[in-house]
Chain A
Amino acid sequence: MMAEIGLAALWLAAALAGLQLVAGSLALTARGAALGGAVRPVAMVQGLLALLAFACLIYVFSVSDLSVKLVALNSHSMKPLVYKIAGTWGNHEGSMLLWVTVMGVAGGFVALVERRLPERTMLATLAGQSFVSLGFYAFLLFASNPFERLSPVPAEGNGLNPLLQDLGLAFHPPTLYLGYVGLSIAFSFAIGALITSEVGPAFARAMRPWVLGAWIFLTVGIAAGSYWAYYELGWGGWWFWDPVENASLMPWLAATALLHSCSVLASRNALRAWTVMLGVVAFSMSMIGTFLVRSGILTSVHAFAVDPQRGTFILALLAIYIGGALILFGLRASSVTEGERFALVSREGALVFNNVMLSAILGIVLFGTLYPLVAETFGAKVSVGPPYFNPMGALFAVPMLVVLAVGPLLRWRRDRFARVGKNLVIPAMLVAAAAIGLLVIGGVALLPFLGLALALGLAWASLLPLKGRNLRRTPLPIWGMVTAHFGIAVALFGMSSESAFSVEKLVAVKIGEVTQVGPWGVKLDTVEPVAGPNWTALEARLLVRYGADGKVTRMLPQSRSFWAPPQQTSESALLTRWNGQLYAVLGGEAPAVDDKDEAKSAAGSDQGRWQLRLWWKPFVPLIWLGGLLIALGGALALAGHVLADLRRTIARSKIAYRRERQGR
């Protein structure tokens, strides 16, 4: 029953999206102006219906209604409840439903609260939003219906990939989706503004909170995904340049550029066409990412199923939306008049540099991600990894980080380096000191060397905009900028330290044997079987000690076997200290070496050896701490802008109220 309600709600929502598109478009013409009043309510109801459909799907998953095909394929009655719920979006159909739900709800929310823009621009924006939604509704209803029933009803479901049964991961996809789809609002605003040619500070101020919100979710989602890959895959790495990771990075890069160009447009009324272009590009990257992941054309842990028909459907949607938006941009960009001018050395100049570098990195990542697909059509099977992405990305990231230290100190419009130069003496000295220190230590590769040297100077420079300000009267957006930029320095330090100073140890040890990794002594105490709700495991007890006389701590890495579906995973154990993390993975029992040794061990003791993989990673948690600081900076800026808008609205309504009373 719930499945049918969900399906009905989905069809109704799709129909309302159609109505929203027609009414919104007609309302822009002289004859259809009367329809304008219907657009906002329709958008809100459409959002509610999509939410209802998603709630129905969560319900059928949480009660394990196996007559629904999607549940039978992806869930299992023995799974803990939280993973049953997480299973709702841990598959293709459910995640696409989440996609349209977020789109519908975000569109409805915009319709509810956004009153700053001219009504014509709003109508065009909401029509644009429904046009995009409509395609995804069609995709769900015709090519991937999540509510399809199954007959006969199977006795048990197939289960969820054990790698995905992890609390952090349960909430990782919804976070990323809020980010991806939040950018659709920026896309629709850009379309609305192109149609009505109203691009100016008001447009940027209206768009900025939405971009910031989406960007915060993307940042948190990427940081969380990276941490998940770090501890769950048991490979010790935190970023693999996997296509799915790139799919989340590309919209983030575009959104970061958009955020900065938005602030130029809002404060200085410059970079008009460029901002609109970035609005289109950011959501296009979200859609390309979805296409790459969902179509199954790329191999990945995250790619749910290989289905060419769906791939073709999403490709067609991509062509319509991205192609359409670019054509619209080409036709209308000339009607967007040129904004205010500025000198090369100015805040705007620095932000333009940031935008161009971010776009270049975006291009590098996009090329590297698509190249294997292009090569395959010519018959060559290739994969592209860190040897390409790291140096090519750094080529543009390093100049950007240098400008990041200077840019926030510059004045709008026109400035001189001489004015800000003296502030930068300390950061420059920090960079030089770090560089000399690293040269003395020696043996650090070029990229981590650059990163470590830059990080300290950047951390100092990022705080300089607060200098000379009364901290209690500093506006929240300034605090946000400083926090986010400081977060970049922190994350950069963590990344560079991890790749420069990590120590790895791979050994096979007997029970009771002690091994050293970096400053740690690790003793294998016991290996024992343990059981969980839907798995059994071998659990090693490691007694570890930092330095010669540190406190002894226990670590419990596991090698788990799940039975639905049958699969083995390594549960790594992590021990965090202020200066880094110790990372332990339990492998299998090492087989007997050869005949002689076998005879010896059979005679001496029947103890086997266990494979252990250990890493000491100095300052690695700073990567994710930095990511969270970046997101926190975004949240502060968002709060600042929203509060300022609220104050303005309240002041305006007070003035109106007073006028009204005086008039009476």
Chain B
Amino acid sequence: MAGSIKAKHQRLVLLAVALVVLIGAALLAAWALRNQASYFYVPSDIVARPPEPDRAVRLGGMVEKGSLKTAADGVTVDFVVQDGKARVPVTFRGIVPSLFVEGSGVVAEGRLGANGTFVADNLLAKHDENYVPREMQDMTKEQAKQVVAETQ
């Protein structure tokens, strides 16, 4: 074959090719992670520094008492998530988790719409003692008590 690799160096060439591809993959991964990772916000963060629209983020907080409303189609719910400092309206189309009630903690996955309403694709509520979203564990420590006290 024309231009075939000088046989003596084949091992080195193979090693170099593998390294180049793997380093390339690592760099690409690092670049993509910066752009694609979904950040976690509490309401006061998202109000102070809103993420750019259409960027996937997660919003965690307490569902405000008296804010939960079901729309006329029977499958869209609107509610307010708050952390005692700020309030964010959230809309979600789907079947809500069974433990999702007013006054409970929730993590909403989705994006912030242009009008300031958070459009959730998925809701994570506190499932059981063994499965609590990590963000909510931290929140129960730092904020939840105070938040619950304020929402009740």
Alpha-carbon distance A343/B6, docked complex (angstroms): 10
User: Range of interface residues on chain A?
Assistant: 35 or more
Contact of B33 with A371 in the complex, beta carbons under 8 Å: yes
**Which of the listed residues B10, B29, B99 has the most CB atoms from chain A within 10 Å of its own CB?**
B29
Contact of B39 with A593 in the complex, beta carbons under 8 Å: no
Contact of A567 with B1 in the complex, beta carbons under 8 Å: no
Which stretch from A56-64, A132-140, A358-366 is at the chain B interface? A358-366
Task: Give min CB distance, B106 to chain A, whole Å.
Answer: 15
Docked complex: B82-101 residues within 8 A CB-CB of A = 93-96, 98-99
Q: Which of A304, A388, A567, A570 lies in contact with B32, CB distance below 8 A? A: A388
A558-596: contact bitstring with B at CB < 8 Å (1 yes, 0 no)? 010000011110100000000000000101101101100
Contact of B74 with A507 in the complex, beta carbons under 8 Å: yes
Determine the residue in chain A with the shortest Cβ distance to B29.
Answer: A367
B149 at the interface (CB under 8 A from A): no
User: Range of interface residues on chain B?
Assistant: 35 or more
**Which of the listed residues A416, A587, A597 has the most CB atoms from chain B within 10 Å of its own CB?**
A587
B128 neighbours in A (Cβ, 8 Å):
161, 565-567
Alpha-carbon distance A588/B95, docked complex (angstroms): 7
B111-152: contact bitstring with A at CB < 8 Å (1 yes, 0 no)? 000000000000000011111111100000000000000000
Contact of B30 with A367 in the complex, beta carbons under 8 Å: yes
Task: Give min CB distance, B28 to chain A, whole Å.
Answer: 7
A653 at the interface (CB under 8 A from B): no
Contact of A613 with B95 in the complex, beta carbons under 8 Å: yes
Contact of B26 with A299 in the complex, beta carbons under 8 Å: no
Docked complex: B1-16 residues within 8 A CB-CB of A = 1, 4-5, 7, 10-11, 14
Given A356-B21, A387-B56: A611 and B40 within 8 A (CB)? no
Determine the residue in chain A with the shortest Cβ distance to B127.
Answer: A567
Given A161-B128, A380-B39, A507-B75: A341 and B29 within 8 A (CB)? no
Task: Give min CB distance, B139 to chain A, whole Å.
Answer: 11
B29-53: contact bitstring with A at CB < 8 Å (1 yes, 0 no)? 1101100111110000000000000
Alpha-carbon distance A559/B97, docked complex (angstroms): 11
Interface of A is mostly: mixed
Determine the residue in chain B with the shortest Cβ distance to A352.
Answer: B14
Which stretch from A22-30, A186-194, A391-399, A489-497 is at the chain B interface? A391-399
Q: Which of B5, B26, B70, B135 lies in contact with A363, CB distance below 8 A? A: B26
A302-318: contact bitstring with B at CB < 8 Å (1 yes, 0 no)? 01110000000000000
Task: Give min CB distance, B5 to chain A, whole Å.
Answer: 7
Contact of A363 with B22 in the complex, beta carbons under 8 Å: yes
Contact of A585 with B130 in the complex, beta carbons under 8 Å: no
Contact of B130 with A305 in the complex, beta carbons under 8 Å: yes
A426 neighbours in B (Cβ, 8 Å):
none
Contact of B58 with A383 in the complex, beta carbons under 8 Å: yes
Interface of B is mostly: mixed
Contact of A613 with B29 in the complex, beta carbons under 8 Å: no
Given A304-B130, A383-B58: A371 and B21 within 8 A (CB)? no
B93 neighbours in A (Cβ, 8 Å):
506
A651 at the interface (CB under 8 A from B): no
Contact of B18 with A359 in the complex, beta carbons under 8 Å: yes
B5 neighbours in A (Cβ, 8 Å):
344
Given A343-B1, A345-B1: A388 and B33 within 8 A (CB)? yes
Contact of A587 with B29 in the complex, beta carbons under 8 Å: no
Task: Give min CB distance, B144 to chain A, whole Å.
Answer: 16
A609 at the interface (CB under 8 A from B): yes
Q: Which of B30, B40, B74 lies in contact with A381, CB distance below 8 A? A: B40
A359 neighbours in B (Cβ, 8 Å):
18, 21-22
Alpha-carbon distance A396/B73, docked complex (angstroms): 43
Docked complex: A338-385 residues within 8 A CB-CB of B = 338, 341-345, 352, 355-357, 359-360, 363-364, 367-368, 371-372, 375, 380-385
A508 at the interface (CB under 8 A from B): yes
Alpha-carbon distance A274/B10, docked complex (angstroms): 13
Determine the residue in chain B with the shortest Cβ distance to A297.
Answer: B134
Q: Which of B7, B18, B30, B133 lies in contact with A299, CB distance below 8 A? A: B133
A299 neighbours in B (Cβ, 8 Å):
131-134
Given A363-B25, A565-B128: A391 and B135 within 8 A (CB)? no
Contact of B25 with A384 in the complex, beta carbons under 8 Å: no
Contact of B11 with A338 in the complex, beta carbons under 8 Å: yes
Contact of A364 with B56 in the complex, beta carbons under 8 Å: no
Contact of A392 with B75 in the complex, beta carbons under 8 Å: no
Determine the residue in chain A with the shortest Cβ distance to B132.
Answer: A299
Given A344-B1, A368-B33: A568 and B75 within 8 A (CB)? no
Contact of B10 with A392 in the complex, beta carbons under 8 Å: no
B36 neighbours in A (Cβ, 8 Å):
384-385, 387-388
Contact of A593 with B74 in the complex, beta carbons under 8 Å: yes
A602 at the interface (CB under 8 A from B): no
Contact of B37 with A367 in the complex, beta carbons under 8 Å: no
Alpha-carbon distance A416/B28, docked complex (angstroms): 32
Alpha-carbon distance A381/B14, docked complex (angstroms): 39
A436 at the interface (CB under 8 A from B): no
Can you give 20 A-B contacts (C-beta < 8 A)?
A299-B133, A356-B17, A359-B18, A359-B21, A363-B22, A363-B25, A364-B25, A375-B37, A384-B37, A384-B38, A385-B38, A385-B56, A387-B56, A392-B28, A392-B29, A414-B1, A508-B73, A566-B128, A585-B95, A593-B74
Top 7 A-B pairs ranked by shortest CB distance? A508-B74, A590-B74, A587-B95, A381-B40, A568-B98, A388-B36, A360-B25
Known contacts A368-B33, A371-B37, A559-B98; can you find 8 more A-B pairs with CB under 8 A?
A301-B131, A341-B10, A343-B1, A343-B4, A364-B25, A567-B127, A590-B75, A613-B94
